[in-house]
Chains A and B, each alone.
Chain A
């Protein structure tokens, strides 16, 4: 069963269609990247999933049913930045927001201690939220989001403003969630994080799906007909290679479209070259993103 199942949802504000016939699903045990430029409709989609706003049309189910009080308890949401009571202490914030997810307060306190200890923030539990650094507050927010053991975790730009140490901490926590079989939706601009963490993605632009599916499959779909080579020895003419471009530390070989990278590799090996690197060139997600978003602007 899909944890999230979105089918043909549409949402307009005034006369502007913000989400236009969007469909996707998120499965258990996967990190799902929701990506797109500013104003693409990511946050509106998330808000509809959380029942903060209702779609004009289309169906949306969470854990197999329409969002209810019970399903809300199985959901964890972390908005971009802030989202905590500034004047409350760390522990009070965690316990109150956990209790709203149906968690017993005593249990919430115990779990909060455990998670604060795990993230090295136990000493800060009596501090007010406003006394914390942005990175620390972000970690507290993630604790608030996952303390009640939700089946679905939605994170909106979780890496913004985090230092490298906290970024690694957060990545570790997300990996743990996936390993526990949770579904995680990651809405972000940071393509390197998506590439590193996500199993599947949905790229949206102007409210419409641009790319949807398995990340590695999408990347292979965008794979170009070139290979990257770093070798010792004279290259000479290589059958099936139309152009050679020299870059710092490697040479890019553009193939003619009929020749496969395996045939090129076989030729290079047969020539007796010492090959340090041979890589089928794959565009980064960032390049795919720019290409797809650029297409729409053309």
Chain B
């Protein structure tokens, strides 16, 4: 068997047998199954909770606000004076009260009184008061259906069409974001973990001088390419397990939870591109880790140095909330093309909006070229700094040596 393949096989098997890798790979489906199981258990054993009715007091100084006192689960109780309402609040008979002043029609001012310290009025309470006022103002003037429609005038149903005018298979929405969002987070964690493993492994081999035994059998290129591909294959196994388990888990979750969960979809192009970016991400970070492992005297220093690029993994996640507001901002194009942020950024974007074909092509091309380029430099650095035990060269020396080879 080709020696690169032998190293690839060894590294791959070594990686997938690691406890950390197994836990990371299985924790997602296992946690999801556990959550579904616990939910089903609870839903069978626990009685549905009795919804308590909240009572809110009000004082009508304007007059005419005496109907529609039941608003959902909230009951509105009339008091003749603000003092009576205040006593009821202090005694705990009402959770709060509001006063409709005599000049309400001209000013629109409503005075609300509560014992709670709040940043602002809860939207539920505000809606209840608004609907109570609207209903009473319109009572007798328009039909009850119209009152209801005025209170809830909009239930926006959006349909995405294709360029040919047909209903698109992928409709977008939050349901689409969930899986890519989870996967980008998992990818970030996996890349971090795999970088640590690679640097640790190389550091151990250097410190134990095993690397010299290996190099008495294989070339630096065979050794490092085998290692990087081994880690890439482990990444592929991980993402395939997750993607394969996702539809099953979603079906189970949808049957158990219903509602929002049943709206979760795996975007069609996500499966292929997700795998591509996952594997390319693994390969890139493996190549970077090999480079850092090459110039580091030991695993501990290597891990400290690796912070330089591992921090970039999380950059797209830090800004992910902005993605929903500005999905087409140029910053996302940059993050999708810059190789260190590309895997996570692309995966996040796949759920939120479409990525232009040219962007994907450039992003993947830059990633592939970066992997090859970094691996090439890493192999050079590895040969030069292989024999440095316990001494780290400075950056000037490294650049000089890489140039001179």
Main DSSP-derived SS at the A contact region: loop
Q: Is the CB of B208 within 8 A of A82?
A: yes
Interface residues of A in 61-106 (CB under 8 A from B): 69, 72-73, 75-86, 96-97, 99-102
Pick from B213-221, B349-357, B370-378 the stretch touching chain A. Answer: B213-221
CB distance from A11 to the nearest CB of B (A): 11
The reply to whether the CB of A144 lies closer than 8 angstroms to some CB of chain B is yes
Q: Is the CB of B10 within 8 A of A96?
A: yes
Main DSSP-derived SS at the B contact region: helix
The reply to whether the CB of B300 lies closer than 8 angstroms to some CB of chain A is no
In Å, the complex CA distance between A274 and B242 comes to 92
Query: Which A residues are in CB contact (< 8 Å) with B214?
Result: 97, 100
In Å, the complex CA distance between A285 and B317 comes to 68
Closest Cβ neighbor of A141 among chain B residues: B213
The reply to whether the CB of B386 lies closer than 8 angstroms to some CB of chain A is yes
- Chain B contact residue count (CB 8 A cutoff): 20
The reply to whether the CB of A165 lies closer than 8 angstroms to some CB of chain B is no
In Å, the complex CA distance between A52 and B209 comes to 12
In Å, the complex CA distance between A75 and B217 comes to 8
Q: Is the CB of B218 within 8 A of A50?
A: no
Q: Is the CB of B217 within 8 A of A52?
A: no
Partner of B212, one of A47, A69, A101, A102: A47
The reply to whether the CB of B186 lies closer than 8 angstroms to some CB of chain A is no
Chain A positions 41 through 62: 1 when the CB is less than 8 Å from some CB of chain B, otherwise 0? 0000001001111000000000
Closest Cβ neighbor of A78 among chain B residues: B213
In Å, the complex CA distance between A201 and B118 comes to 90
In Å, the complex CA distance between A144 and B217 comes to 12
Q: Is the CB of A83 within 8 A of B208?
A: yes
In Å, the complex CA distance between A83 and B213 comes to 7
For the complex of A and B, 4 pairs with smallest distance between CB atoms: A77-B216, A100-B217, A82-B208, A79-B209
Binding site for A on B (CB under 8 A): 1, 3, 6-7, 10, 204, 208-210, 212-219, 383, 386-387
15 A-B residue pairs with CB within 8 Å: A47-B212, A50-B212, A52-B386, A52-B387, A53-B383, A53-B386, A69-B218, A72-B218, A76-B216, A77-B213, A78-B213, A79-B212, A83-B208, A84-B210, A100-B218
Binding site for B on A (CB under 8 A): 47, 50-53, 69, 72-73, 75-86, 96-97, 99-102, 144
